[in-house]
């Protein structure tokens, strides 16, 4: 570290310790700042008369609730897990108004901010001999809370009728439960009962997170792994391990069995993933089809069928008609145009194969064939998608004002669709929602972001990757080094944990889909924020430790 930076850090810490703020004053200042942040965040959310956005997936999320309220029973649609649609049913039944969805999701956003503060403050308990004053640690947490509550991405996603709106809350809940488990398992000796309870809750929360948003599956696994490892190696006796396994299994089965029963009536459950994988990798699959035709290796399908399919897919990949093509710079084509329009190539193939099972088998066969035949092209695609997120982290948005009127115009167009009109018509309050949405389309409504928050987001976006490249290797070195103190190992563990769960989500999306859909980056805001804040906090700890070692080193003797 440069001498000037080392001297500055040393002086700041010396001043903080020489002139400590009285404990009572610090608590008053901290609580005042915290209340101010949450008051501003609540006012920003509840003082504006917004409505929820809807998009092309609205039937899968909203129709189960509306169908139940019309007395037709709960239905499973579009392969979506029942938990979020089931929650919408409870909200709409309680409020009798579409605005109840927005109110509930914005309230969860505020509760997520509180979970972030609680999680950050709990982290200080793992570093009892920290050289960073606890007041500084708490101050960094206040910055994180302000960014989470006042930045565009969380507030924007709260306006959607889709599971992305609650993902950050669920992720923060799982992280807070994990930190509570680790505290009672590793710090508070002998708290076996609390350890077992939190272990069950962590695994349950991780399951819910992965169920509500499958792209969070790897992130959920990262969160659950420390619990599984520590509980199965626990010395508290078999009783607590049995309680943990039985309790976790019972809760997960209670949540999973209804999903398995409901999805039997959903014809799209088995179709969605194969269709998505085929469409997103269509250019690679088309190249493999052409190579198979050139070598006369058509596998289990006739040559004529493969030739026609390859020609149709190639023509679809070149389609740039305005109604289909939206710029996907990293792919070069729009996969949505292959599977969603009635005239899309995959929809035409459905009629050719006669049934959905035959189409799914065809899509899976050629996806696997391309994956085995062109693994490096798949790896290159994944690398490009990771680059979209890590090159200049798009989770941190530095726009001044985020217009939402265009989203309401998009919602209004979807509401004009006859299928969606039929969905909305029977209930009076849904018609009021349609009217208000169309009014907001011409309102010029926007979400404002405070100047300091914009500046922090701009800075974090550009420093996310450099900090990761410094913090993660250093954490690995300390975690694997013999003789590291528990203080050092805890700090390194949390660096690896927070960056890993963020990477797991990004990797999952990059493998299955692509990162240029905005909400795929926005939904990772809190994971990226927590990783970045802890990276800063931990590197500050390392810097102070380095300064302390230099100062305590004996002066060389020239005698």
pLDDT digits (tens, 9 = 90+) for 70-113: 888 888 888 889 999 999 999 999 998 889 999 999 999 999 99
Place of tokens 């899509």: 363
Q: Please give the average per-residue pLDDT across 384-403, as a whole number.
A: 90
- Band of the pLDDT at 1, cuts 50, 70, 90? very low
Euclidean distance between CA atoms 59 and 493, whole angstroms: 42
Query: How big is the chain, counted in residues?
Result: 559
pLDDT digits (tens, 9 = 90+) for 540-555: 988 887 777 666 666 5
Question: Per-residue pLDDT for 438 more than 90?
Answer: no
What pLDDT is attached to residue 473?
Answer: 95
CA 429 to each of CA 73, 95, 103: distance values in angstroms, whole numbers, following the listed order: 19, 10, 16
- Band of the pLDDT at 17, cuts 50, 70, 90? low
Place of tokens 């102070």: 544
What pLDDT is attached to residue 418?
Answer: 84
pLDDT digits (tens, 9 = 90+) for 322-352: 444 444 566 778 888 888 777 778 888 887 8
What pLDDT is attached to residue 327?
Answer: 47
Contact (CB, 8 A) for 54 and 414: yes
What pLDDT is attached to residue 4?
Answer: 55
Euclidean distance between CA atoms 386 and 465, whole angstroms: 11
Structure-model confidence comparison of residues 487 and 379, the more confident one: 379
Place of tokens 């660096």: 495
pLDDT digits (tens, 9 = 90+) for 354-367: 777 888 899 999 99
Place of tokens 């490096």: 376
Strands 401-403 and 446-448: antiparallel
With CA atoms as reference, report the closest residue to 153 among 528, 436, 410, 504: 528
pLDDT digits (tens, 9 = 90+) for 181-218: 999 998 887 788 899 999 999 999 999 999 999 989 99
- Percent over 90 (pLDDT), the chain: 48
What pLDDT is attached to residue 440?
Answer: 85
Question: Per-residue pLDDT for 64 more than 60?
Answer: yes
Question: Per-residue pLDDT for 539 more than 80?
Answer: yes
pLDDT digits (tens, 9 = 90+) for 492-537: 999 999 999 999 999 999 999 888 888 899 999 999 999 999 999 9
What pLDDT is attached to residue 7?
Answer: 60
What pLDDT is attached to residue 341?
Answer: 73
Q: What is the mean pLDDT of the chain?
A: 87
What pLDDT is attached to residue 506?
Answer: 93
Q: Please give the average per-residue pLDDT across 400-405, as a whole number.
A: 84
Q: In sequence order, what are the residues at sequence separation of 6 or more whose Cβ sits closer than 8 angstroms to the Cβ of residue 118?
A: 176
Query: Would you tell me the crossing angle of helices 238-262 and 217-232 to the nearest 10 degrees?
Result: 150
| Number of Cβ within a 10 Å radius of residue 295 | 8
With CA atoms as reference, report the closest residue to 407 among 449, 379, 443: 443
What pLDDT is attached to residue 124?
Answer: 93
pLDDT digits (tens, 9 = 90+) for 283-325: 999 999 999 999 888 878 888 888 998 998 888 888 755 444 4
pTM of the predicted structure, to 2 decimals: 0.90
Q: In sequence order, what are the residues at sequence separation of 6 or more whose Cβ sits closer than 8 angstroms to the Cβ of residue 450?
A: 150
């Amino acid at each position: 570290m440069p001498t000037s930076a080392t001297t500055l850090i040393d002086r700041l810490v010396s001043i903080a310790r020489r002139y400590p703020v009285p404990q009572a004053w610090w608590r008053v200042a901290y609580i005042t700042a915290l209340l101010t942040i949450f008051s501003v965040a609540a006012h920003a959310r509840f003082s504006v008369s917004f409505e929820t956005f809807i998009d092309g997936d609205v039937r899968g999320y909203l129709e189960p609730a509306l169908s139940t309220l019309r007395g037709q029973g709960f239905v499973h649609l579009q392969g979506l897990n029942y938990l979020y649609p089931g929650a919408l049913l409870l909200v709409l039944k309680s409020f009798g108004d579409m605005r109840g969805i927005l109110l509930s999701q914005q309230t969860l956003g505020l509760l997520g901010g509180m979970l972030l503060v609680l999680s950050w403050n709990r982290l200080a308990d793992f570093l009892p001999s920290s050289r960073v004053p606890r007041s500084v640690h708490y101050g960094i947490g206040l910055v994180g809370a302000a960014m989470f509550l006042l930045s565009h991405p969380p507030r924007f996603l709260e306006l959607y009728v889709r599971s992305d709106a609650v993902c950050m809350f669920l992720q923060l809940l799982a992280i807070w439960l994990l930190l509570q488990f680790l505290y009672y398992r590793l710090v508070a000796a002998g708290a076996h009962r609390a350890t077992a309870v939190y272990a069950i809750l962590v695994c349950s929360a991780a399951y819910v997170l992965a169920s509500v948003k499958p792209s969070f599956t790897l992130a959920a696994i990262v969160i659950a792994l420390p619990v599984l490892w520590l509980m199965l190696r626990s010395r508290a006796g078999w009783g607590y391990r049995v309680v943990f396994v039985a309790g976790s299994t019972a809760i997960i089965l209670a949540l999973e069995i209804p999903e398995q029963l409901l999805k039997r009536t959903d014809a799209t459950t088995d179709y969605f993933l194969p269709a998505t994988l085929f469409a997103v990798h269509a250019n690679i699959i088309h190249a493999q089809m052409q190579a198979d035709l050139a070598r006369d290796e058509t596998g289990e399908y006739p040559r004529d069928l493969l030739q026609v399919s390859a020609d149709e897919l190639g023509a679809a990949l070149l389609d740039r008609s305005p109604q289909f093509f939206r710029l996907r710079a990293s792919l070069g084509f729009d996969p949505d145009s292959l599977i969603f329009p009635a005239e899309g190539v995959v929809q035409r193939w459905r009629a050719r194969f006669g049934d959905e099972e035959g189409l799914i088998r065809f899509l899976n066969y050629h996806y696997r064939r391309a994956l085995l035949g062109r693994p490096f092209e798949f790896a290159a695609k994944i690398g490009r998608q990771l680059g979209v997120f890590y090159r200049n982290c798009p989770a941190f948005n530095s726009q001044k004002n985020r217009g939402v009127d265009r989203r309401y115009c998009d919602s209004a167009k979807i509401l004009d669709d006859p299928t969606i009109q039929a969905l909305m018509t029977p209930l009076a309050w849904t018609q009021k929602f349609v009217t208000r949405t169309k009014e907001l389309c011409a309102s010029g409504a926007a979400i404002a972001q405070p100047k300091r928050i914009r500046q922090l987001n701009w800075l974090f976006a550009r420093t996310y990757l450099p900090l990761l490249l410094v913090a993660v290797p250093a954490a690995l070195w300390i975690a694997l080094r013999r003789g590291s103190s528990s203080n050092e190992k805890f700090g390194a563990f949390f660096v690896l944990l927070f960056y890993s769960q963020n990477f797991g989500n990004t990797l999952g999306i990059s493998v299955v889909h692509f990162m240029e859909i905005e909400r795929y980056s926005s939904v990772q805001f809190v994971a990226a924020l927590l990783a970045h804040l802890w990276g800063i906090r931990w590197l500050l700890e390392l810097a102070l430790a380095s300064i302390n070692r230099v100062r305590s080193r004996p002066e060389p003797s020239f005698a």
